[in-house]
Structure 1
Amino acid sequence: MTETTHSSELPKTFDPAGIEAKWYAHWESNGLFRPERPDAQPFTIVNPPPNVTGSLHIGHALDNTLQDVVIRYERLRGKDALWVVGTDHAGIATQMVVERQLEQRQDKRTNYTREQFVDKVWEWKAESGGTITRQLRRLGCSMDWSREQFTMDPHFTRAVVKVFVDLYNQGLIYRDKRLVNWDPKLKTAISDLEVETREVKGGFWRFRYPFADGSGHVEVATTRPETMLADMCVAVNPEDDRYKAVVGKEILQPITGRRFKVVADEHADPELGSGVVKITPGHDFNDFEVGKRAGIKPADMLNMFDAEARVVQTADGMVPEKYLGLERFAVREMIVADMKDAGFLIPHVTKDKDGEEVQADFEPRTIQTPFGDRGGVVIEPWLTDQWYVNAEHLAKAPLEAVRSGAIEIVPKTWEKTFFNWMENIQPWCVSRQLWWGHRIPAWYAEDGEVFVAETEEQAQALAGGKALIRDDDVLDTWFSSALWPFATLGWPDQTDLVKRHYPNDLLISGFDILFFWDARMAMQGLHFMKEVPWKRLYLHGLVRAADGQKMSKSKGNVVDPLGLIDQYGADALRFFMCAMESQGRDVKMDEKRVEGYRNFATKLWNAARFCQSNGIGASHAVAAPASTSAVNKWIIGEVVETLAELDKAMADLRFDAAANAVYHFVWDQFCDWYIELIKGQFDAETKAVAGWVLDQILVMLHPFMPFVTEELWSKLGDRPDHPLITARWPQPGASVDAAAKAEVDWLIALIGNLRTAKNELGIAPGAKLDAFLPEPSAATRGIIERNPAAIERLARLNGIRFEAAPAGAAMQVGAGDANVIIPLEGVIDIAAEKARLAKALEVSTKEAKSLEGRLSNAAFVEKAKPEAVEKARADHAMHQAEAERLAAALARLG
């Protein structure tokens, strides 16, 4: 027999808030997130470092919950589990926060030197930069806070500078003139991830561009008329027969007087507009490529804007003075008016309701327009000198790693996207025009020669005494975060941590940063460490609103995870995230389900209180106790099966399957059946088994619901030196007893089916009925004879007689190979019940048929709102199931 340890009484009410604050502080202050395990197998993950300016949103809650489930699981399995935590310095976001604070005091950044402003950012970081790390603690994230990192920490900066210098010396970083996404408000280049596309009401203007020889014109269309100030050619498709004769002819641009040629290029779509496009290579990404193919060097491409998107004179001096210094959209209106006055605007003609022709300057269109997600203004493609990484070269090793299986992407469906992007990768612009960030380690001599070195002294040595000026730009934050898996471990020093925890075992990331962060970590990791940064990459989906829409502040459908934690507890939110995370599919927010998982925690709490009140407490044993009764053998076997299911799900990174396995076991097998079956027979064996099973539940559930499980673990037994967070993962040392499983499954089937049948026929649940089973099999007879108390108490039967049932109406209830007959004479009014069931069946059948007709109508399915179609499908399934249930109930009555 296994003894139980002393326990302290559980309160009647489960209160998540008090439990969460108490246990998190205990775990962290006692160093339990990284227990000393020098001889254990290492297991390492790194968190995607959130912006230091950030606060916990629902995407963070999903991402970090999944990571915490994995790290707690591996810690329980005895591994030396390290979860690296830290924050990203978030160049643009942080600089904006501090600049806004200055604005509130009628102050601005340019009133300070660069060094003074950077000092102010560090002051802000010390005072306000820890919001999200406090919030991650509220979620229960068991990160190694003793080694918290920041991408601007001195050791991290040293790694960033070394990587830049090494890549430069290897010819993999270079300076080039190319188009970038330019934010005219922030006056910096930004990455694609910081560009958000919005629908804007705009126009499509059509203009005549005359041939220089006066022989006619071509018609061009544009959504950005202002850019004609920097036009350098006109393109037509080489296969377009309409224009083959004009390729090579000169255009005389009406506003600037600039002469340029008609070129043949496949970018021109014969089906779009007139099939002729004006080409402004210095201000459009597609036009840039057309210009290069037409032989225009980037250095010769015309630039018509300054950093604030105001018009400047182009290198050829052809922009009329009246436009200079004006804002881009004001110039748009002037250009259209001037082209119209000169007779080069082709009006857009429509008809009014009376059939009369109406002319307008442009065709109204909804334009997909790029905006800076932080500056909030329209992004301008701008031709500037920036620093670039040769991403094509660095992408080769990650491509091979994924192909060979050295990196496993889960779900595998993302591989195709990964290959497609990496095989067509463009140079990576890594310079930003900011003051906050890692300053680029490059110095320039007066003659423009550049010297790249880790320190100014080293640059000066390379320059041989020339006067040098340092590059003003800083590095893109994705450049530094690409080093996260190894720079956080102390690289470039070959520390014990680097040797032990690189490569990491797993990365969990949203699919939306697959290229901005994940792929770049793979590039830098393989290049500098000669090994993959992590062996597996798990990509999860987005958390969407309940109706499937993307969450956004403008739609007002953003869900605050901290509000959900306040209302339902962190455990409930965490369990919801896991149960709904189905390998990369988006998670639909459903507050009712979060509430349901809080109820699940309450059900476990009440089951533990019931056990405690009946003398059941913590177990000393890791292995299952010896057992003789079928119900105890059965529940031990259920633990064995659940554990196998859970381990497989975790190995496959099926968070939903793992959560559902433990949920089903706790709610159905343990709370609903085992506790019911053992009521009234708490002998020593049953107490030992029940205590052991409850311990196994707490350990298996702990990764998902760490707070309630740790509280119950501490209250069910006196084990202060053995907290649940560092307990041992179950090792039952037992197997499934097939006979015991068959016996209990038979009882559960009988009780469950009988309760359903009673409900269908309107019989009171507590009504005690007679039952007959003529000629049972030997196995079934044995089960019935061994379990008379359970059959009487739970099935509410006056035993089961092994003889023929009396004549008359009866219902049959199946269990295993048996059909138990239960007479109904005198129990219900059979005729009335038949009439009620028949009427209800008719209504449900009619409703199901009507909905089936609507759903088979293609017009309804295609044209109705998606939510209306979804509701019709749900209603159809409900009525169909109800009809089947009612038909079965009628059949029971014969």
Structure 2
Amino acid sequence: MQPTFKELQPTYEPQQVEKRIYKSWLDGEFFTATIDEDKQPFVIIQPPPNVTGELHLGHAQRATIEDMLTRWHRMKGDPTLWLPGLDHAGIATQVVVERELMKEGLTRHDLGREKFLARIWEWVDTYRTRIGEQHQRLGASCDWSREKFTLDQGPSKAVRFTFVSLYKKGLIYRGERIINWCPRCETALSDLEVEHKEIEGKLYYIKYELEDQSGSITVATTRPETIPGDTALAINPDDSRYKSFIGKEVSIPTLSRNIPIITDHAVDKTFGTGALKITPGHDPTDFEIGVRHNLTVVTAINFNGTMTEAAGIYSGLDRTVCREKILNDLDKEGFLIKTEKYTHTVGHCQRCSQVVEPLVSKQWFMQMEPLAQRALRAVETGAIRIVPEHFNRVYTNWLLNIRDWCFSRQLWWGHRIPVWYCPDCDAQIVEEEEPTQCNSCGSAGIYQDPDVLDTWFSSGLWPLSTLGWPENTKDFSYFFPTTVMETGHDILFFWVARMIMLSLENVDEVPFRTIYLSGLIRDPQGIKMS
């Protein structure tokens, strides 16, 4: 029998070849990891792409590096697992779908929570499939039989288990603190979700007259719209210029309210005039000063960015409109002494680029310092190695200066906080399984906290939850801890450090032995693509 020959195409057509070859790999289960107790496995848990859209060049870079490592160890005969997955990406996905609704002239509130979530699931189903197909087109040798999604039943159980466990240990608490708030996304943001951009602004010098009409003090501020929220003026106790003013009161310009003059070492004598207006409801430093001096918190700006009733004649105005209106009034009444150009940094929402508003709000927090100490020791002792090594210093510096994590989000998409409230006896119920009645009074009128968890809460459990934890599965017993976590250096704090902290706290073991921080691919504007 004569062999048959097929004429070669003048150009390579990958669609004629690669899909067929990849299918043969899948049919042969060449990527499916097997457990061999006599051998040490090589394990990479894929950093899960967000379901916000299709993959880009940055994802291709990540997949290429991980695929090379995986194939090398597979060829060496090591039991090898490269576990793929996707992230529900709470705020990012919600913002994307809300933009789609805007094209239809709708908001999520027009649909209501249930229908809005149904729309997001439609989006997720489309892009979850597409992302998987794109990875396969790249030739990624992932174990698709073990693919996970952060909202799957298994990861969801890990989230609830962790929340309840940390709450019972006293590491999770609910309290009123000043937090970063995005008026556009209408949610709290963690410090890491705020991008600080340098802007060319202005410094306004405003006169506050003494209540006894014996003189005045001029203060410098970049935010005149927060004047209705002032509850004190502060000077440094070592500043001799203002010794005679201590203990007196001043009148808030344009408003008929008096506030005290106090002293605090946090006041920078070199900034502006050395006198500082204290607005505890709209500035983190002012909030701390307010706590020390037992000052009232006056909220002048609403969660939607408009002025509250406390702003008096400015109530209902957008904060940016209020700034212009109040400056105009201050100028007319002789309170605006001068204006200077001033370059400073302003926080912006990482997702929508709106200016972030510091607001006092009741939120859920995680105590980070106890967790950070263990994460520090893991790197210091060599239990985890960071590559390149110079990122050790960055990692250490961040953990040494860590603050409590505000992880509640006023969103609809994500892991709902597993806390229920009783309106009859004010009890707070924290359980893994949904309760049917109040544990204290037996009332059936309990309701669940409407907020969801920061997406990094579930992502922080990724090496655990993808392998079946908190169940003692065969995969978890054999493949954990994993070998390498390959990712970008930009999420060393967002994600990597949190995985280490939560793993050590949950199972007393590091989640991986090596952190490989590879480079970032950027677009022509310098914005990262990976």
Q: TM-score, normalised by structure 1?
A: 0.56
Native 8 Å contact 2:33 2:81 kept in 1: no
CA distance in 1: counterparts of 2:106 and 2:522, whole angstroms? 40
Give the equivalent residue in structure 1 for 2:22: 24
Give the equivalent residue in structure 2 for 1:325: 316
CA deviation vs aligned residue, 1:725-751 (integer Å, no higher than 9, x gap): xxxxxxxxxxxxxxxxxxxxxxxxxxx
CA distance in 2: counterparts of 1:312 and 1:270, whole angstroms? 31
Give the equivalent residue in structure 2 for 1:151: 150
Native 8 Å contact 2:437 2:445 kept in 1: no
Equivalent in 427, 432, 435 of residue 404 of structure 2: 427
Instruction: Please give the secondary structure, in 2, of the residue aligned with 1:271.
Output: coil
Equivalent in 332, 355, 363 of residue 378 of structure 1: 355
| 2:377 is aligned with 1:400 | yes
Instruction: Please give the secondary structure, in 1, of the residue aligned with 2:101.
Output: helix
* Cα distance, 1:155 vs structure 2: 1.6
* Cα distance, 1:366 vs structure 2: 4.3
| 2:367 is aligned with 1:390 | yes
CA distance in 2: counterparts of 1:295 and 1:10, whole angstroms? 86
Question: After alignment, is 430-439 or 178-187 more displaced?
Answer: 178-187
* Cα distance, 1:407 vs structure 2: 1.3
Native 8 Å contact 1:282 1:382 kept in 2: yes
Higher relative contact order (CA 8 A, sep 6+): 2
Of the two, which has the highest radius of gyration?
A: 1
* Distance 1:134-1:288 versus aligned 2 partners, 3 A rule: farther
CA distance in 1: counterparts of 2:369 and 2:33, whole angstroms? 42
* Cα distance, 1:191 vs structure 2: 3.0
* Distance 1:27-1:243 versus aligned 2 partners, 3 A rule: farther
* Distance 1:231-1:34 versus aligned 2 partners, 3 A rule: same
* Distance 1:16-1:204 versus aligned 2 partners, 3 A rule: farther
* Cα distance, 1:171 vs structure 2: 1.1
- Map 1:344-355 onto structure 2 (within 5 A): 344-347=335-338
* Cα distance, 1:62 vs structure 2: 2.7
CA distance in 2: counterparts of 1:12 and 1:236, whole angstroms? 81
- Map 1:701-740 onto structure 2 (within 5 A): none
Give the equivalent residue in structure 2 for 1:513: 491
Unaligned runs of 5+ residues in structure 1 are 1-5, 348-361, 553-557, 562-894
| 2:252 is aligned with 1:276 | no
Instruction: Please give the secondary structure, in 2, of the residue aligned with 1:130.
Output: helix
Equivalent in 453, 457, 463 of residue 475 of structure 1: 453
Give the equivalent residue in structure 2 for 1:461: 439
Unaligned runs of 5+ residues in structure 2 are none
* Cα distance, 1:310 vs structure 2: 0.9
* Distance 1:245-1:72 versus aligned 2 partners, 3 A rule: farther
| 2:366 is aligned with 1:368 | no
Native 8 Å contact 2:203 2:222 kept in 1: yes
- Map 1:29-68 onto structure 2 (within 5 A): 29-36=27-34, 38-39=36-37, 40-68=39-67
Native 8 Å contact 2:207 2:218 kept in 1: yes
CA distance in 2: counterparts of 1:379 and 1:30, whole angstroms? 52
Give the equivalent residue in structure 2 for 1:654: none
Amino acid at match of 1:227: T
CA deviation vs aligned residue, 1:803-862 (integer Å, no higher than 9, x gap): xxxxxxxxxxxxxxxxxxxxxxxxxxxxxxxxxxxxxxxxxxxxxxxxxxxxxxxxxxxx
* Distance 1:448-1:324 versus aligned 2 partners, 3 A rule: farther
| 2:286 is aligned with 1:308 | no
CA distance in 1: counterparts of 2:7 and 2:46, whole angstroms? 35
Amino acid at match of 1:467: G
* Cα distance, 1:517 vs structure 2: 0.6
* Cα distance, 1:413 vs structure 2: 1.4
Aligned length: 524
Give the equivalent residue in structure 2 for 1:692: none
CA distance in 1: counterparts of 2:370 and 2:465, whole angstroms? 22
* Distance 1:16-1:393 versus aligned 2 partners, 3 A rule: farther
CA distance in 2: counterparts of 1:234 and 1:534, whole angstroms? 51
CA distance in 2: counterparts of 1:531 and 1:181, whole angstroms? 32
Instruction: Please give the secondary structure, in 2, of the residue aligned with 1:396.
Output: helix
- Map 1:490-889 onto structure 2 (within 5 A): 490-544=468-522, 550-551=526-527
* Cα distance, 1:330 vs structure 2: 1.1
Give the equivalent residue in structure 2 for 1:131: 130
Percent identity, please: 43
More strand by share: 2
* Distance 1:266-1:144 versus aligned 2 partners, 3 A rule: farther
Give the equivalent residue in structure 2 for 1:488: 466
* Cα distance, 1:31 vs structure 2: 1.9
Native 8 Å contact 1:452 1:459 kept in 2: no
Give the equivalent residue in structure 2 for 1:417: 394
* Cα distance, 1:144 vs structure 2: 1.3
Give the equivalent residue in structure 2 for 1:100: 99
Instruction: Please give the secondary structure, in 2, of the residue aligned with 1:479.
Output: helix
| 2:12 is aligned with 1:15 | yes
* Cα distance, 1:491 vs structure 2: 1.0
* Cα distance, 1:372 vs structure 2: 2.0
Q: TM-score, normalised by structure 2?
A: 0.92
Runs in 1 of length 4+ with deviation above 4 angstroms?
A: 8-14
* Distance 1:150-1:218 versus aligned 2 partners, 3 A rule: same
CA distance in 2: counterparts of 1:459 and 1:510, whole angstroms? 45
CA distance in 2: counterparts of 1:467 and 1:11, whole angstroms? 73
* Distance 1:459-1:420 versus aligned 2 partners, 3 A rule: farther
Native 8 Å contact 2:234 2:277 kept in 1: yes
Native 8 Å contact 1:410 1:539 kept in 2: yes
Amino acid at match of 1:420: N
